[in-house]
Amino acid sequence: MGKKSSAKRSGAAAVDASDVPVVGMREPCPCGSGRRYKACHGRSSAAVFVGPARPFEGLVSECDIVAMREIVPAASAKLTLLGEHADRDVTLVTVLPMAWPALVRADGSVLVGLQVNVGSGDASRDLADAILGALEAEPGEPVALGRVTTDSPRFQDLVDPDVALDITVHDNFEFWVDGAGDIADDVRASLERASSYAHPTVKLASVPSAYWTQMGEKEHLRWVMPHDEETLLDALARLHAAGADSLGEGTRFVGMFRAQGLVCPVWDLPLGMGAEAVEEPAAAFGERLAAALSDDAPLSSEQRRARAGLTTRQVTLR
């Protein structure tokens, strides 16, 4: 398998980047490498500066914004803007046609995408730049991402940080063109391509920022958490050592990944369990985790061994 992957990478390198169309960063790269676009030809625009570890820190919906950017295929949420633009209709979405940063509909409403392929290195400032550009753009036009600096406005400067986002998870990307009438062929093709990779996803109601998904023959729960990483690892180690880190029979805590400065634990679920059946076990785990987070006693030797094992359980996003 390693040789096959190597051959694919070599083939991808031989493709002129200018010949590779822009797609959503979670979609397979059109060059045929077998890798996601963001890890292949979508990496052509390097960050111009290093942003903060947690670019969306301070927002009550930080975890859901990170989830929309990193793991949720199709979702949207209305934004509550501040100041002179408070009356504008702006919706945050996971991804837009052709991976545009933003677009303005014919009625003047704005869609702004989180899963973009270029940027400064600070996702918050890139997002703010896209919103500001869209607010000044003419209806019916996509908005390009500008070049931001460390002095550029942040997303936190434009929206009310205390208003929680009402996330709607979609089965496909028809919301792109809802009420828009006829659309261009390339936009329709982008919609169909993106929808084909939108694996079923459900946001749990019993706990915050946790998303069930089915990817092929596997089901998972991915839960973006706001806690300090070291504190969270200690708490997970306490639960693992006590055999209390599963979500019930047939489930298994498999590790975690980091995204935008946050940690996202992941569980494998038995095929056919479904989102509804994981609600109650997730809520119970949340209570156990809260108790473990409040425990400030030194870790036992068994818990320290569990913690050492947890640090090696790094999950790769697929």
* Residue recorded with tokens 């996202």: 264
pLDDT (tens, 9 = 90+) of the chain, 318 residues, equals 333 333 333 334 444 445 555 565 556 777 776 666 656 656 544 446 778 999 999 999 999 999 999 999 999 999 999 999 999 999 999 998 878 899 998 889 999 999 987 678 899 999 999 999 999 999 987 898 888 899 999 999 999 999 999 999 999 888 777 655 556 677 777 777 777 677 999 999 999 999 999 998 999 999 999 999 999 999 999 999 999 999 999 999 999 999 999 999 999 999 999 999 999 999 999 999 999 999 999 999 999 999 999 988 776 655
Half-sphere exposure of 269 (CA within 13 A, CB side): 23
What is residue 178's predicted lDDT score, i.e. its pLDDT?
60
Q: Tell which residue, 127, 114, 197, 112, has the closest CA to residue 158.
A: 127
Which CATH code, of 3.40.50, 3.30.9, 3.30.70, 3.30.1460, is assigned to 201-310? 3.30.1460
Assigned token pair, 44 = 């052509």
What is residue 173's predicted lDDT score, i.e. its pLDDT?
81
Distance CA 256, CA 224 (A): 9
Q: Tell which residue, 311, 312, 314, 293, has the closest CA to residue 238.
A: 293
* Domain definitions of the chain by residue range: 2-43, 62-196, 201-310
